[in-house]
Amino acid sequence: MEFCGTEHAIFRSGLPLEYNDDVRLAANAIAGQLNARVVAVQYHEGLKAVAVRFQSGPCHWVTTT
């Protein structure tokens, strides 16, 4: 993750993700998984940054270490 808040995350991806795609994120086995929807995709010099919004509302495991 490049950035993560309680409602959004931004990360680099090599997957063929596009706007409005659904994804599942996982921090680790203890935290479980989180469903999200792609809200923005930015291409730059062969890399792709993806911004997602969490589907279930605010998520607190993403802000803890």
Q: For residues 29 and 31, give the distance between their C-alpha atoms in angstroms, rounded to a whole number.
A: 6
Sheet containing strand 22-26, edge to edge, reads 3-4, 8-12, 47-54, 33-44, 22-26
pTM, to two decimals: 0.78
Task: Report pLDDT for 4.
Answer: 77
Closest C-alpha among 58, 52, 22, 54 to residue 40: 52
Classify residue 45 by its DSSP letter. T
> Which residue's structure tokens are 């919004």?
53
Task: Report pLDDT for 22.
Answer: 96
- The domain ranges of the chain are 3-63
Task: Report pLDDT for 6.
Answer: 81
Looking at the DSSP bridge assignments, the partners of residue 41 are 50
pLDDT by position in tens, the chain (length 65): 677 778 888 999 999 999 999 998 876 666 667 899 999 999 988 889 999 999 877 666 555 54
